[in-house]
Amino acid sequence: MSTGRVFAVEPWVVREPRLDLDRMGQVESVFALSNGHIGLRGNLDEGEPHAMPGTYLNSFYERRPLPYAEGGYGYPESGQTIINVTNGKLIRLLVEDEPFDLRYGRLRRHERVLDLRAGTLSRDVEWESPAGRVVRVRSTRLVSLTQRAIAAIEYEVEVLDAPALVVLQSELVANEQLPSRNEADPRVEAALTDPLVAEQHASAGAGAYLIHSTRRSGLRVAAAMDHEVHGPETAEVTSEAAEDIARTTVIARLEPGKPMRLVKYLAYGWSSRRSLPALHDQVRAALAAARYTGWDGLAAEQRAHLDEFWETADVEIEGDAELQQAVRLATFHILQAGARAERRGIGAKGLTGEGYDGHTFWDTETFCLPVLAHLAPHAAADLLRWRQSILPQAYERAEQLGLRGAAFPWRTIRGQECSGYWPAGTAAFHINADIADAVRRYVLATGDTVFEREVGLELLVATARLWRSLGHHDSAGEFRIDGVTGPDEYTAIVDNNVYTNLMAQQNLRYAADVAARHTRVAARFGVNAEEMASWRDAAKSMRIPYDEVLGVHPQSEGFTSHAVWDFENTPAHKYPLLLHVPYFDLYRKQVIKQADLVLAMQLRPDAFPPEQMRRNFAYYEGLTVRDSSLSACTQAVVAAWTGHLDLAYDYLAEAALVDLDDLAGNSDHGVHIASMAGTWTAVVVGFGGMRMDEAGIHFAPRLPPALSRISFGLNWQGRQLRVEIRPDEAEYRLVSGPPMRLGHHGEAIALDGEPQVVPIPAFDPPEPVEQPYGRAPRPRLPGNATRRTFPEIAMPQAAVVAGMDEELRQTG
């Protein structure tokens, strides 16, 4: 449970000024370091105490049974779960035979700092042992953004009072004992306990390695370490290795004022195909390169990489220091999640925790990818190449479901559907249109036509075919998509979900356009003019239900006729509702977990005239309880667009602070990557009013009254742009790249070397909107506190039903 802030507010670092054992899980997630390939949770060097030790490799998973009380055709029988691999972060310390353990003795000082520009997590501790010896330990850790297989730790220990014998044990530990998962099914527990089978181990000099493979998924992982010791000449260094543990031990007698410094280099590699010797050589080579680069070299590379990133990516928020920090942390975590994923997915928690079994959902394309397309385009392209690489599984799944084209999995690591509840899994076909939308956004943002032809087209054809076979024309000639689930998981298995239909419409239309641009390649996939016409025709006839009486779009057919949830009689502790009421009751009533029609307005603004957007937004604000962390950022965007600037600001803060303030109460499972991405989107797309289409890029910036300035940058078709929003004017600057034109509140502006300052037009403030009773966002400013709200935002209760924990996932 979150009580009070755990981090200090500073612009470029996240500082934990003192250790709070009750908040360890949250802090481990926020302090996780990752390059998208390797992820190290912010565990203490000495391993304990911990909330959840975590060392992850992207897509390294074990298979687990998926049991059903009553089975059904097409239910996946086997799931995939990310597993904790060999822990190489461990450096244990003994001071005169007393283990350095913060739970004993006296902690004089304990500070940790995540430095967003250095890309390091550092720690500074002063500790008095139970026997009264005083030591200072300083460590700095990085997961290299430049050397994908590498992590490194600089560890310095110093005795402060008197000479002492000090022993350092730097380790690799496989099959670490983990806190119980408390699984409903003991078979799952069994499958995931000691998942690694030892294959080879060895030690030599100041290093060692361990190679393991998984029992069921048949993946092989190698972890290797090497060390440099800078200390007394008398220091003794030995190494040893056994099946599940390797250890380099340094023994030295230290004098006060003469610290000993250890640099640990760590290399990881995994493969489903490479032989043991090949994998062994791979990690040893990476390790040699890292050692050759040295600690200072690695740290310098890391900073240089980040400097370049921040030059474009930095978002400046003037007038709210907390938000400034939060937006930077969010941007940092997005980079970490995607930077070197290289044709692997991004899990809902990145590599910061085991939440949702490490699965990748639609979050990747709908929330992360639009951000990466502007800040790290290569990473965005690689994510879509990953989707292309799992097309065989998606084709197979579509066939199993009796459909054409590809049916991408709702949740997966390796490409197979791992959802054990089809109404909120298989039925959420919108993920296929979300992938197509991501292709479009990436191509618009980068102008990368090679990618469009080589990667995009295949994805578009596969998904367009899915929609064409999933929908049908009714007798009135409308194209319907029945029996699917949209983004809102409090409504399922419905006809003509507006979000789904609008996204499918765009998918069909865009697939036809791209196929027409690359007819030769399209022909290779068997696409001909007839098929393209059938896509265009379906798109044109797409049914978009509309409630004439209310003047709003129903989220899906009949939605607005359902009973409205009894919000007034739903106390705060009943949220999130899915933990306290059955699905059947949620599904049949007007209550919305997360933006659905509102997300449709964000992603397809062309389909909603402004006045309609306002009416829809007002209607759905009154029904949306935000039991998902994927909602606030979207509500922020559309609130900003419809002129609810204070509300947008509150939602931005909710999205941005979800992990810093542990707003969902489950940050210990990993950070909310999609909400972090949505934070950037809330600023750039929301307050920046950024939209892209074939005609170019447009902005319609507006600053919320509480802020005095927002500045953000982005890549646009080979250019670097920076936009600054001030209360009454906006400034556009072309940092690099050829001259261009952009839209500003509907006006065309030419941009070259000179910054352009243009006024922001005034607007009529809209009628205020209301959230469901008690579900207004936390007002960011005291003056905003006019909405009815519970004193505290509701925290989820402990999972009351076995397996429900999984469902705390707010996204899918």
**Mind telling me the catalytic residues?**
489
Show the 3-state SS of 369-405: HHHHHHHCHHHHHHHHHHHHHCHHHHHHHHHHCCCCC
288, 587, 612, 745: residue in contact with a second copy (rule CB under 8 A): 587
Q: Which of residues 481-510 bind a second copy (CB under 8 A)?
A: 482-484, 492-493, 495
User: How far is the C-alpha of 622 from the C-alpha of 270, rounded, in Å?
Assistant: 49
- Smaller CB separation from a second copy, 368 or 808: 808
Least separation in angstroms between CB 528 and a second copy = 23
4, 186, 477, 526: residue in contact with a second copy (rule CB under 8 A): 186
Instruction: Report the side by side order of strands in the sheet with 134-143.
Output: 8-9, 13-16, 106-115, 120-128, 134-143, 150-159, 260-271, 220-230, 207-214, 196-204
Least separation in angstroms between CB 623 and a second copy = 15
Residue 635 assigned as binding residue: no
Residues that contact a second copy, how many (by CB under 8 A): 61
What is the full DSSP assignment across 274-319?
A: S-HHHHHHHHHHHHHHHHHHHHHHHHHHHHHHHHHHHHHH--EEES
128 near a second copy, judged by CB under 8 A:
no
Give the rounded distance of the alpha carbon of 189 from its chain centre.
26
Least separation in angstroms between CB 418 and a second copy = 9
The CA-based diameter of the chain, rounded to the nearest angstrom, is: 90
69 near a second copy, judged by CB under 8 A:
yes
Least separation in angstroms between CB 403 and a second copy = 8
Residue 363 assigned as binding residue: yes
Least separation in angstroms between CB 485 and a second copy = 9
- Smaller CB separation from a second copy, 325 or 419: 419
49, 74, 447, 759: residue in contact with a second copy (rule CB under 8 A): 74
Residue 422 assigned as binding residue: no
Sign of CA dihedral 48, 53, 56, 60: positive
802 near a second copy, judged by CB under 8 A:
yes
- Smaller CB separation from a second copy, 340 or 589: 589
782 near a second copy, judged by CB under 8 A:
no
- Smaller CB separation from a second copy, 234 or 475: 475
- Smaller CB separation from a second copy, 627 or 650: 627
Least separation in angstroms between CB 365 and a second copy = 21
466 near a second copy, judged by CB under 8 A:
no
234 near a second copy, judged by CB under 8 A:
no
Q: What are phi and psi of 291, to 5 degrees?
A: -65, -35
Amino acid at site 380: A
What is the full DSSP assignment across 605-654?
A: GGGS-HHHHHHHHHHHHTTB---STTSHHHHHHHHHHTT-HHHHHHHHHH
Sign of CA dihedral 782, 785, 786, 790: negative
Q: Which stretch binds a second copy (CB under 8 A): 20-28, 146-154, 307-315, 796-804?
A: 796-804
Q: Which residues pair with 225 in a beta bridge?
A: 208, 266
Residue 362 assigned as binding residue: yes
Task: Give the per-residue contact string, 392-431, with a second copy (x = CB under 8 A; - = no).
Answer: --------xxx----------------xxxxx--xx----
- Smaller CB separation from a second copy, 158 or 357: 357
Q: Is 735 helix (H, G, I), strand (E, B) or coil?
A: strand
User: How far is the C-alpha of 94 from the C-alpha of 169, rounded, in Å?
Assistant: 8
User: How far is the C-alpha of 760 from the C-alpha of 729, rounded, in Å?
Assistant: 5
79, 207, 772, 774: residue in contact with a second copy (rule CB under 8 A): 79
Least separation in angstroms between CB 64 and a second copy = 10
User: How far is the C-alpha of 115 from the C-alpha of 13, rounded, in Å?
Assistant: 5
Q: Which two tokens stand for residue 418?
A: 């791992």
Q: Which stretch binds a second copy (CB under 8 A): 237-245, 283-291, 301-309, 803-811?
A: 803-811
Task: Choose among 31, 29, 8, 33: nearest CA to 18.
Answer: 8
15 near a second copy, judged by CB under 8 A:
no
618 near a second copy, judged by CB under 8 A:
no
Nearby residues of 166 by Cβ (< 8 Å), 6 or more positions away? 93, 94, 95, 96, 135, 157, 159, 251, 252, 253, 254, 260
Q: Which of residues 166-185 bind a second copy (CB under 8 A)?
A: 184-185
477 near a second copy, judged by CB under 8 A:
no
Q: Which two tokens stand for residue 433?
A: 């249109």
Could you list the residues known to form a binding site for substrate, using ranges.
362-363, 593-594
- What is the binding site for a second copy (CB under 8 A)? 66-77, 79, 184-187, 400-402, 419-423, 426-427, 472, 474-475, 480, 482-484, 492-493, 495, 549, 557-558, 561-563, 578-585, 587-589, 800-804, 806-807
